[in-house]
């Protein structure tokens, strides 16, 4: 297997609603169809030897959607973990979550399934699959800043010691490497409050493919495009 030119791909899984609408279906049918896409991509990531795969599963802004859709997404994500966690475990995948996991709006049963999945896969050494669930990057950064302010107020941290590394240490998953590549499906070209700090130098790849139609070959196409780009990181 050829060596990958990157270690971390992050995906904004967009277009479920449009996929369903094109077929005369309820929006929730699009979310359900996206499950097959997700796990085909996970299997593809494992085949490629990708170290980290982060997917935007539910944003802090998604609470604004109709209550019926939000309820469906909560129960769907819970049942998805029940259906698929053994599969990802057998693939050697380690599952992580970033976001406001203790939000009282998240059903206790969903939180329990998340904790069980983390525990089940904790010893796995294959691809790290990170679900950004109830995640918003601005909230993440605000919490990191609050933690630093608390340390300064308590006299445990000098103000002049606050730097990029200190703030990064207060993010949800400090060991999460910066994404090399951020993919967004459905033709939209924005990052929607996703990994704003971590993606400062990520390459962005936008595809018109709606998320339920996205497969491992589309992931490979994104990685191939990444490999063709020259990354300067501010240099000449």
Hey, is 186 helix, strand or coil? coil
Q: Are 77 and 111 in contact (CB under 8 A)?
A: no
Q: Does residue 161 fall inside a structural domain?
A: no
Compute the half-sphere exposure of residue 195: CA atoms within 13 Å on the CB side of its CA.
34
C-alpha 99/C-alpha 103 separation (Å) is: 9
Q: What percent of the chain has pLDDT above 90?
A: 96
Q: What's the rounded Cα separation, in Å, for the pair 117 and 111?
A: 10
Is residue 14 annotated as part of the catalytic site, yes or no? yes
pLDDT of residue 236: 60
In the set 14, 16, 77, 134, the catalytic residue is 14
Asked if residue 153 is part of any domain, the answer here is: no
Is residue 165 one of the residues assigned to a domain? Answer: no
Is 154 among the domain residues? no
Q: Containing domain of residue 204, as a range?
A: 8-133+179-228
pLDDT per position as a tens digit, 26-41 = 999 999 999 999 999 9
Helix (H) or strand (E) holding 16: helix 16-22
> Residue 2: what pLDDT?
65
Asked if residue 139 belongs to a domain, the reply is no
Which one of the listed residues 16, 40, 62, 134 is annotated catalytic?
62
What CATH number is given to the structural domain containing 73? 3.40.1180.10
Model confidence, pTM: 0.96
As given in the structure block, the two tokens for residue 109 are: 């049963």
Domain assignment present for 3: no
Domain total in the chain = 1
Instruction: Return the structure tokens found at 209.
Output: 């493919």
Q: Which residue in 95, 61, 57, 54 sits closest to 73, CA to CA? A: 57
């Amino acid at each position: 297997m050829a060596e990958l030119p990157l270690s971390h791909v992050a995906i904004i899984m967009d277009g479920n609603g449009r996929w369903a609408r094109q077929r005369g279906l309820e929006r929730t049918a699009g979310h359900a169809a996206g499950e097959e896409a997700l796990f085909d991509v996970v299997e593809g990531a494992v085949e490629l030897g990708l170290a980290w795969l982060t997917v935007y599963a539910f944003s802090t802004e998604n609470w604004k959607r109709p209550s019926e859709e939000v309820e469906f997404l909560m129960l769907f994500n819970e049942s998805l973990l029940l259906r698929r966690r053994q599969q990802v475990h057998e693939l050697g995948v380690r599952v992580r979550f970033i976001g406001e996991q203790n939000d009282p709006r998240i059903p206790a049963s969903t939180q329990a399934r998340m904790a069980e999945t983390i525990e089940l896969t904790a010893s796995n050494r294959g691809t790290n699959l990170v679900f950004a669930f109830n995640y918003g990057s601005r909230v993440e950064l605000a919490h990191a800043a609050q933690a630093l302010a608390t340390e300064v107020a308590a006299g445990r941290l000098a103000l002049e010691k606050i730097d990029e590394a200190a703030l990064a240490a207060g993010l949800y998953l400090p060991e999460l490497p910066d994404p090399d590549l951020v993919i967004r499906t459905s033709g939209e070209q924005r990052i929607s409050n996703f990994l704003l700090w971590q993606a400062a130098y990520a390459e962005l790849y936008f595809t018109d493919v709606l998320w339920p139609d996205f497969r491992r070959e589309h992931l490979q196409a994104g990685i191939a495009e990444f490999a063709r780009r020259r990354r300067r990181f501010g240099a000449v």
